[in-house]
């Protein structure tokens, strides 16, 4: 892992738990990040995304009035949004496999489990820098990171799934 200057990243926090937000602010500032934007709710977060540069957003799954999953879908599917490829990391105390799978399915770039540790926050951000995900738009309306994150070294074609289904017939 290379050493990165992450001090210039613009980070957005969307969580309705003020205690957790203050912990995340301290973690991010401790990592050297100077631009941390705290939002009170979904509407304010959407305003930040629309009018200010945001590099990474840490979003709680449980929000007032809307889930973090719905927030990710809204960011990804709103064509007027100029930042549809925003790196979004969902954060939750719910670490069971269905929650992580749903995060991937809706288009999150990553997942962190509460309580978070500074090293985990740092590694998640560095992973987003070193291993950027490819964004795709599918026929069924999905826009976001390619959900097929595992790379098959035996297949380099455009439509990987066609090969899989052909073998099933």
Pairing assessment for the beta strands 35-39 and 56-60 based on DSSP bridges: unpaired
Condensed to tens digits (0 to 9), the pLDDT of residues 32-41 reads 999 999 998 9
* pLDDT over 80 (residue 154): no
In this prediction, residue 169 carries a pLDDT of: 36
Alpha carbons 38 and 116: distance in angstroms, whole number? 17
| List of residues 6+ apart from 17 with CB closer than 8 A | 60
Taking the C-alpha atoms of residue 90 and residue 14, their distance in angstroms, rounded to an integer, is 10
Q: What is the per-residue pLDDT for 166? A: 44
| pLDDT, position 33 | 97
Cis peptide before 12 (omega within 30 of 0): no
Helices vs strands, H then E, count in the chain: 6, 7
Query: Is-contact 101 169, C-beta < 8 A?
Result: no
pTM, whole model, 2 decimals?
A: 0.84
pLDDT per residue as tens digits for the range 49-96: 988 999 999 999 999 999 999 999 999 988 777 889 999 999 999 989
Question: What pLDDT sits at residue 167?
Answer: 45
Average pLDDT across the chain, whole number: 87
Q: Per-residue pLDDT for 162 more than 80? A: no
Eight-class DSSP state of 52: S
Quick check: 159 pLDDT over 80? no
Rounded (10°) CA dihedral 2, 125, 117, 37: 130
Any residues with CB less than 8 A from the CB of 25 and at least 6 apart, and which?
13, 36, 38
Domain parsing of the chain, residue ranges: 10-168
Q: Which CATH class is domain 10-168?
A: alpha beta
Q: Mean pLDDT throughout 121-148?
A: 89
Quick one: tokens of 150? 């595992």
């Amino acid at each position: 892992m290379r050493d990165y200057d992450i001090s210039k990243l613009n980070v957005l926090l969307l969580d309705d738990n003020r205690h957790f937000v203050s912990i995340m602010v301290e973690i991010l500032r401790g990592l050297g990040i100077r631009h941390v934007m705290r939002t009170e709710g979904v509407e304010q977060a959407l305003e930040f995304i629309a009018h200010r540069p945001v590099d990474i957003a840490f979003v709680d799954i449980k929000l007032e009035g809307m889930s973090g999953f719905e927030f990710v879908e809204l960011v990804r599917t709103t064509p007027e949004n100029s930042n549809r490829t925003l790196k979004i990391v969902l954060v939750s105390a719910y670490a069971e496999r269905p929650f992580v799978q749903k995060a991937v399915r809706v288009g999150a770039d990553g997942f962190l489990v509460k309580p978070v540790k500074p090293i985990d926050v740092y590694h998640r951000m560095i992973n987003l820098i070193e291993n950027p995900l490819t964004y795709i738009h599918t026929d069924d309306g999905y826009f976001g990171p390619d959900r097929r994150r595992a790379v098959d070294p035996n297949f380099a074609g455009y439509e990987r799934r066609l090969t899989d289904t052909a073998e099933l017939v």
